Structure 1
Amino acid sequence: MRLTLTPHEMGIVRERLGREPNEVEWAVIDALWSEHCSYKSSRIYLRSFLSTAEGRRVVMGIEDWQDAGALDVGDGWIVVLKLESHNHPSAIDPFNGAATGVGGVIRDIISKGARPIALLDMIRVGDPRKERNRWLLRNIIRGIGFYGNSIGVPVIGGELSFDDSYEDNPLVDVAGVGVVRKDRIIPSVVREPGLRMVIVGLTGLDGLGGASFASRNLSGEDEIGAIQIADPFAGKIVLDATLAVADKVEAIKDLGGGGLAVAVTEMANGLGAVVDLDRVPLRVDGLSPMEILISETQERMLFAVREENVKDVCGEFEYYEYPCAEIGYFTDNGVIRFRYGGNEVASLPASLLLSPPLYTHEVRRPAGKPTAERLVIDIEEAVRGVVSHPDFVSKEWAYSQFDYEVGTSTVVKPGEADAAVISLPNGRLLAIKGDANPDLCAEDAYECGKSIVAESYRNLATVGARGIGIVDHLQFGDPRKPEVYYTFVEALRGIAEAARFFRTPVVGGKVSFYNENKDGRPIKPTPLVVMVGLVEGKFLRGRVEEGLNIVMLGLTRDELRGSFLSKLYGSFGEVPRVRLNEDLLASELVISGINQDRALFVKDVGRGGLVTALFPILVRGFGVEVRSGMIKSDSDDLLVKLFSETSGRFIVLTNEPEWFLGNKLGVVASVIGKVTRDSGILKIDDRAMDLGREVENYYNYLYRVMDGD
C-alpha cells in the first residue's frame, strides 16, 4: 500500500482504535496523518505564528492552518491569501505538476467565497545549461501559463532562481490573491450536524496517494500515478459556479491533498459524517472504495449544504453539464463513516484522524562551511560574474508566456519594479512580493528567516506600500535529519520574530519536507515568504533620467558570508546580522519620499549587493558613476562596499538629495554618485567598466539558453 505511517504510528492507531484497521481505513489514516496534511513534524513550532490577535486586519489566520488566510483591507473588503507548492509532482511531470499547483491555489481561494485576482510563481531549478533542467523549466512555465491564462487570472510576479541543489527536486511555489466582501466570506468547516454533503467534479485514477507521495523522498519509481492531471476549462466552470452558489452553502472545501478522505474529515471538524462512495461521480467505472477515497483528481469541490438548497446548488453546476451529487451528511457522533454498495468499508473516530502524533525531531547545528581565505578578487571580474548570473537576468522569457493583464487590475507589471501592484475593488492598491534566500539560509537559517521578511517589507516600500501580512512556505529536506530540522526550526524562529516586529502577521502557509535529490542530498533550506501591503498614498513605478543623484540609505557592513559573491568565490567573512529597526526606518523614509515626489526611482539593496541594485539603471540605457569613498561603511574594502548584503539599505534616484540627507529618522544617507548618459558604463572612482555585453546578456540569456544555445 506504500503507506508512510511508521511502525510506531501504526501501533498508536491499533491502541487507540482497539482493533486492526482494514485496508481502506489504513489508507484513510495514512492520508490524514501524512506530513503533507497533518504537519505532524512542524505544527508545534507553527504555534509561534499565532496571528489572530496580532493585527487588527486579521480575519482568518494561521490558526486555520490548512486553509487560506484573510486580511481586512477596508471598506468592507477582504483579501484572501494562499501559498501552495507542487514540488514532487513537478519533478516527475512538470507541466501537470505546475498547472495543478495553480489550480489548487485557485480552489483554495474560491473556498472562501473569494474571486481570484492575481497569482505569483516562485520557481527554482538546477543549472539551465543542462537539458533536463531546461525541460523542467520549459514545462513548468507552460503549465502555469496554461492554467492561469485559461481561467483568466493574471500571473503578476514571482521569482526564477537557479542552483545545483534543485537538480532532481525543483521547487514550484504558487501564491494566490482573492477578494471577497467581509460579510460573504465562507468557512471551510461545519458547526452543526444534519447538513448535506455535495461533491462536484469527476473522480478518477490520477493523483492516487498524492499526499503520501509528497510526504516521502522522491524515488523515481512508480510515481507518475500520484500526479494529478490539469483541466483549466473545468477549473473555470468550478470557479464561476462555486462563486455563484456561495450564498447557498454553509462551508466549502477544496478536494486537494488526501482527496475525499481528508476533505470530509477536515470539513466535519470533529463532528461525524456518513458518506456513500457509490454516489460519487466517477471518471472511469470500477474504482475501488480506497481509490475513490484517496484519489486527488483535480477540479473537485465539497460543499456543506442545507437540505433545501441542494437542488439549487447542483442546478448551477448542471447548467454547465458539470457533475454534482449529494453523497452524504454530517452527524453529531464524531465518527467518520464511508459506505460502498450498502456495506460499511471504513468507520473511524474523527478524534483519531485529526490527532496525529506530533513530533519535535532531534536538532543539530550543521557543521559550518570551511572559511575560505579572504581572496584578492578582481573587482571587474566580480562585477561581471555576478550581474551575468542567471538569477539576475531578465525573466521576460518566463513572464511573457503569462497573460498578466487579464482582469484589468494589474497596475505594475512583471519586471517593472521590485513588487507587483494590483488595484482592489475599493479603489486601493495592493502590492505583493515573494522572497527567499537559500544561500544565506545555508549559512544561518535564523538570520535568513529575518532577512526574507525584511527584504519583502523593503520591496513593498520601493513602490510606496507598507506590508500588512504574510503567507509563508517552509521547504526543507528530510525532517528526521538533525541538521535539516535545525535549519527548519531556526528559519521559522527568524520569520516569526521579523513578522511580529513589522506587524505583518503570518496568516497562512505551508510546510514542505522531504525535498531531496535522488542521492539523498537535501535542497538548500528554502523558506519563502509572500508579503502583501497597501499603498497608503502615492505609488512608484520608477523612472530613470540623466543627472539624477544616487542616494544610498543605510550603513554597509563587512558581511560577505552567505552573499552572492561568496556563492561564486567561496564562503568568507561574517554573516549579515539583520537589524530590523534599520529596515523599518529606511522603508518609512522611502515611502515618505515617494509620497512627497522626492524619489523618482527606488531599489532595495539585497542579493548581489550594491552592484545588482545599480545594474537596472544600466539596463534602462544609462550609465552610473559611483564614488566609493561616499559609501557609508565600516570597511574600506571595495568588495564589501559593492557586494555586501547588509539589510536595511536602498538606493534612491532623486533631484533633491538634501531631503534624504537631512532626514530626522536617523537613517544613514549619502550621495554616492549620479546617473550618466554613458549607456552601459559603470564607473567606480577612476575605473570605468563597459557592461554593454552584460546588458545584452540580461535581455537575451534566458531566450538563448532555453533554445539550447
Structure 2
Amino acid sequence: MKITLSPYEMELVRKQLGREPNEAEWLTIDALWSEHCSYKSSKVFLKSFPSEGERVVMGIEDWQDAGALDIGDGWAIVLKLESHNHPSAIDPFNGAATGVGGIIRDIISKGARPIALLDMIRVGPLNNSRNRWLLKNIIAGIGFYGNSIGVPVVGGELDFDESYTDNPLVDVAGVGVVRKDKIIPSVIKEPGLKIIIVGLTGLDGLGGASFASRKLSGEDEIGAVQIADPFAGKIVLDVTLEVADKVEAIKDLGGGGLVVGITEMANGFGAIVNLDKVPLRVKDLRPEEILVSETQERMLFAVKDENVEKVCKAFEYYEYPCAVIGEFTKEPYIKFLYNGREVVSLPSDLLLSPPRFVWGAKKVREKRLNETKPEVGLEESVKAVVSRILSKEWAYSQFDYEVGTSTVLKPGEADSALISLPNGKLLAIKGDANPDLCAEDPYECGKSIVAEAYRNLASVGAIGIGVVDHLQFGDPRKPDVYYSFVEAIRGIAEASKFFQTPIVGGKVSFYNENKEGKPIKPTPLIVMAGLVKDKFLRNSVVEDSYIVQVGFTRDEMRGSLFTKLFGVYGDVPKTRLNEDYLASQLIVDAINDEKVIFAKDINKGGLIGAIFSILVKGKGVELTLSSIPSDTDDWVPKLFSENSGRFIVLTNDPDYLMRKAKGIYISVVGKVTKNYGILEIDDKKINLDKEIENYYNYLNEVMS
C-alpha cells in the first residue's frame, strides 16, 4: 500500500510524536491526512462558502456525512454529492456501483430514507473504444446498484471531452427524507459508548483514500477499488433505519476505512478498538489491512450499553454480521489492538489536525491558434451545434426512475428532476457543470453554474433552497490548477450568497489527470435543490404557440459550444446574477398563473440549443433574427451565445410576460409550426430531421 505523505508531513509527525510511527500508524495517518479525507489543500478557501440560512438544519460541519435542509411540516431533506473518479477509471462497473452505495449509506447515516439519485458522468469522446467501454460499464454499475436497492435515478448529465479520456468523472448525488427531530449525528457527544461494526471486512478497497489522493499511475491499482454488493446494501439500508432510534451516532465506513470512521466519529475523544473482533470476509487479514480496507456495505454505530443487543439482533435476523469491537473513551487517543497487542496509539488531535496548504496560484492562458471569428455558414453551424445535443434515453433506460412512486417528471422531460415529498410538497433537483467555460474563466464559471441550476429549477416552477458541490481539478500544486480552483470557489460562493442557496455539503477531488500529467478541464459541479412554489410545469409543444425569449442576448462567445466546434474567439460571458434572478421569478410566476406551456433556460448551444428541444418534440420552428433582443446585429451570438439570464418559453399570451416583466427583456422571437424538423430563420429553411433522428439514436447505435 502506497503512502502519499510528503517528507515534510512525515517529519512533522515525528516531531509531534517524538518517535517513529510503526507501519500501521503510518497507514492511519496517511489515510486521515490524505487529500481525500482532510481537505488539506482546500479547507482554507472552502470557509468562504455560505453555509447558514433559515432552512439549514445541518450544514458544512466537520465529519458530518451529509447536509440537511428544512422543507416544512417537521420534515427535512438530506443531500449528498460524491464521486468515484479514480476507481471508475480502473474498474468502471464496481467504481460506479460503489459510488452509488456510498451515497446511499451517507444518506441513511443521518437516519434518512433515500428517495432519489442523480448521476453526472463525463468521459472522453466515444470514437475511442476504451471510452465506450468506460461509459457502458459506468452506466451498468449505477443501474445495477440503484435498481437493486430500490432508489430511482431521476436525472443527471452526460458529457464528453478529450480531457476525461484517462480520468472519467463519475458523480452521484443522493436525496433522502427524514423527520427533523430524528436526524442522527455522525459524531459522538460523550465518551463511554460502545462501537458496533456491521458488515464483513475484506481485501478490496485497500488504501482507497490514498489512491484517490494521487494521480493515476497507469499501474495495476485494482486492489484499491471496492466491490459492490447492493443486496447486502439493501439489508444495511433497511436495518439501519430500523435501529436509528437506538443509536447515538452513525457513520458510513467510506474513504479511509475503519481508521477514518473511528477517528472522525470520536470527534476529539478517544477510542479503543479490538481489530481481532472485526468480522472478516477473508481469513488471516493483517491488522494493517483491516485498518484501511474500504470494503463496502459496512457501517459504524455508537451505542449505549443497554441498546447493543437490540441493534445487533436486528442485523442478525438477516444473518448480517454485527459485532462490538470497542468503546469510545475520554482519553483523546485512538488505539487499535490486535490479539491484545497495541498496533496503533495516536493522539486524536494529531490525526484530526493535518497541516493546511495554500499553494501558489497563477493564471496561465494558453495561446490560441484562432482568436478571430470563424467563417462558417448558418446551416453548417446550426447542424453542427444540434448534432452535439444528444438524448440521454439510452442511459436512463438502464435505470429504474419510477421505483418508489415519488418521481413526478421523468428524466429528460424537463431541465430539472421533480419528486414528491412525504409532506405533499414537490422537490426539484438539478446538477450543473460547465467545464468549457471553466477552462476560460473559472470565476465566471463558478457563478454561472449556480445561476444555471437556479434557472433549471425555475423552469419547472421551483425556487432553489440549498446546494451541495463537488470541486474536481488536477494537481493542486500546479499554479494554474490551483488558480482555477480558488477562482471557481469565489464564483460559487458569490452566486450562492446572492440566491440565498446555502452550501450544506460537498467534496473536493484533486489529482484528476491523464497518464501524461495533463489535468482535466476544471470541473466544479453543483447540485441545487428547490421547492415548487405552487404549481409545476410539464412541458408541452403546441402548434402556433408564440416562442418568447426572456432575457437579453450578448455578444459573449468564449467558452460556448459554437467556439468549441469552430474556434475560440470573443469575450467570456459575464454572469449577471440579478438578470438570472428576475428572469427566474418571472418564469415561476408565469407557471403559477398557467401562462406558459413550455419553459427552458438557454445554456449549451445558445438559443439554437434551446429551440432544438422544441423541434425534437415533432414540430417546426420559425425564428426572426431581428426580434432577438441583443447588443449586436451579428447572427452568430444571437443564435449561439450562451450568456446567462435567459429562457425560451411557449405561450399563447406573450402580453402577460411583457406586463409582468421587471427589468428584463421580453420579445416574441418566433412561432411553433407544423413543419416537422424544419427550422426557418428569416427566409432560410434548414431541415433537421436527420439531426433529430441522430438525437434519439446516436448513443444507442454507438454503445451497441
TM-score class normalised by the smaller sequence: over 0.9
The answer to whether residue 179 in structure 2 is matched with residue 181 in structure 1 is yes
Task: Using the TM superposition, give the Cα deviation of residue 61 of structure 1 relative to its aligned residue in structure 2, in angstroms.
Answer: 0.7
- What is the alpha-carbon distance in structure 2 between the residues aligned to residue 607 and residue 64 of structure 1? 36
- Give 2:698's aligned amino acid: Y
Output the TM-score relative to the length of structure 1.
0.99
Partner of 2:376: 377
- What is the alpha-carbon distance in structure 2 between the residues aligned to residue 66 and residue 451 of structure 1? 28
Does the Cα contact within 8 Å between 2:94 and 2:227 map onto a contact in 1? Answer: yes
Task: Using the TM superposition, give the Cα deviation of residue 64 of structure 1 relative to its aligned residue in structure 2, in angstroms.
Answer: 3.6
- What is the alpha-carbon distance in structure 1 between the residues aligned to residue 91 and residue 375 of structure 2? 45
Does the Cα contact within 8 Å between 1:420 and 1:432 map onto a contact in 2? Answer: yes
SS in 2 for 1:315: helix
Partner of 1:39: 39
- What is the alpha-carbon distance in structure 2 between the residues aligned to residue 372 and residue 49 of structure 1? 35
Partner of 1:464: 461
- What is the alpha-carbon distance in structure 1 between the residues aligned to residue 646 and residue 124 of structure 2? 30
- Give 2:124's aligned amino acid: G
Task: Using the TM superposition, give the Cα deviation of residue 425 of structure 1 relative to its aligned residue in structure 2, in angstroms.
Answer: 0.2
Task: Using the TM superposition, give the Cα deviation of residue 130 of structure 1 relative to its aligned residue in structure 2, in angstroms.
Answer: 1.4
Partner of 1:520: 517
Partner of 1:543: 540
- What is the alpha-carbon distance in structure 1 between the residues aligned to residue 637 and residue 387 of structure 2? 19
The answer to whether residue 254 in structure 2 is matched with residue 246 in structure 1 is no
How big is the alpha-carbon RMSD for the aligned residues of Structure 1 and Structure 2?
0.7
SS in 2 for 1:457: helix
- What is the alpha-carbon distance in structure 2 between the residues aligned to residue 15 and residue 589 of structure 1? 61
Partner of 1:227: 225
- Match for residue 147 of structure 1 among 145, 148, 151: 145
- What is the alpha-carbon distance in structure 2 between the residues aligned to residue 66 and residue 221 of structure 1? 34
Task: Using the TM superposition, give the Cα deviation of residue 462 of structure 1 relative to its aligned residue in structure 2, in angstroms.
Answer: 0.3
Output the TM-score relative to the length of structure 2.
0.99
Task: Using the TM superposition, give the Cα deviation of residue 368 of structure 1 relative to its aligned residue in structure 2, in angstroms.
Answer: 4.2
Q: Deviations over 1:518-558 (max 9, x none)?
A: 01110000000000000010000111100000010111000
- What is the alpha-carbon distance in structure 2 between the residues aligned to residue 136 and residue 376 of structure 1? 36
Partner of 1:592: 589
- What is the alpha-carbon distance in structure 2 between the residues aligned to residue 92 and residue 153 of structure 1? 26
Alignment of 1:346-361 (within 5 A): 346-361=344-359
Alignment of 1:53-72 (within 5 A): 55-64=53-62, 67-72=65-70
- Give 1:514's aligned amino acid: Y
Partner of 1:16: 16
The answer to whether residue 419 in structure 2 is matched with residue 419 in structure 1 is no
SS in 2 for 1:49: coil
- Match for residue 325 of structure 1 among 316, 323, 326: 323
Task: Using the TM superposition, give the Cα deviation of residue 129 of structure 1 relative to its aligned residue in structure 2, in angstroms.
Answer: 1.8
Partner of 1:83: 81
Partner of 1:160: 158
Partner of 2:401: 404
- Give 1:46's aligned amino acid: L
Partner of 1:612: 609
Partner of 1:281: 279
SS in 1 for 2:436: helix
- Give 2:640's aligned amino acid: F
- Give 1:545's aligned amino acid: V
Q: Deviations over 1:70-96 (max 9, x none)?
A: 000000001000000000000000000
SS in 1 for 2:195: strand
Does the Cα contact within 8 Å between 1:368 and 1:443 map onto a contact in 2? Answer: no
Partner of 2:444: 447
Partner of 1:700: 697
- What is the alpha-carbon distance in structure 1 between the residues aligned to residue 661 and residue 71 of structure 2? 30
- Give 2:584's aligned amino acid: S
Does the Cα contact within 8 Å between 1:50 and 1:62 map onto a contact in 2? Answer: no
- What is the alpha-carbon distance in structure 2 between the residues aligned to residue 611 and residue 408 of structure 1? 35
Task: Using the TM superposition, give the Cα deviation of residue 662 of structure 1 relative to its aligned residue in structure 2, in angstroms.
Answer: 2.3
Q: Deviations over 1:87-128 (max 9, x none)?
A: 000000000000000000000000000000000000000011
- What is the alpha-carbon distance in structure 2 between the residues aligned to residue 442 and residue 368 of structure 1? 10
SS in 2 for 1:59: strand
- Give 1:437's aligned amino acid: N
Q: Deviations over 1:14-57 (max 9, x none)?
A: 011111101100000000000000000001101011413xx100
Partner of 2:215: 217
Task: Using the TM superposition, give the Cα deviation of residue 664 of structure 1 relative to its aligned residue in structure 2, in angstroms.
Answer: 4.2
Task: Using the TM superposition, give the Cα deviation of residue 222 of structure 1 relative to its aligned residue in structure 2, in angstroms.
Answer: 2.7
Alignment of 1:86-125 (within 5 A): 86-125=84-123
Partner of 2:48: 48
Partner of 1:316: 314
- Distance change in 2, residues 1:581/1:50 (3 Å): closer
SS in 1 for 2:87: helix
SS in 2 for 1:48: coil
- What is the alpha-carbon distance in structure 1 between the residues aligned to residue 207 and residue 106 of structure 2? 20
Q: Deviations over 1:464-506 (max 9, x none)?
A: 0000000000000000000000000000110000000000001
- Match for residue 682 of structure 1 among 679, 682, 685: 679
Q: Deviations over 1:660-686 (max 9, x none)?
A: 122241211100000000000000000
Q: Deviations over 1:354-413 (max 9, x none)?
A: 000001100000214425221221111111011101xx1101000000000000000000
- What is the alpha-carbon distance in structure 1 between the residues aligned to residue 3 and residue 379 of structure 2? 55
- Give 2:83's aligned amino acid: S
Does the Cα contact within 8 Å between 1:25 and 1:348 map onto a contact in 2? Answer: yes
Partner of 1:195: 193
SS in 2 for 1:355: coil
- Give 2:182's aligned amino acid: R
SS in 1 for 2:660: coil
Does the Cα contact within 8 Å between 1:209 and 1:226 map onto a contact in 2? Answer: yes
SS in 1 for 2:517: coil
- What is the alpha-carbon distance in structure 2 between the residues aligned to residue 639 and residue 374 of structure 1? 9
- What is the alpha-carbon distance in structure 1 between the residues aligned to residue 684 and residue 50 of structure 2? 52
Does the Cα contact within 8 Å between 1:65 and 1:509 map onto a contact in 2? Answer: no
- What is the alpha-carbon distance in structure 2 between the residues aligned to residue 64 and residue 246 of structure 1? 21
Partner of 2:495: 498
Runs of 4+ in 1 over 4 A off after TM superposition: none
Partner of 1:169: 167
Q: Which runs of 5+ in 1 are unaligned?
A: none
Q: Tell me the number of residue pairs that the alignment of Structure 1 and Structure 2 aligns.
A: 703
| Identical positions, percent | 71
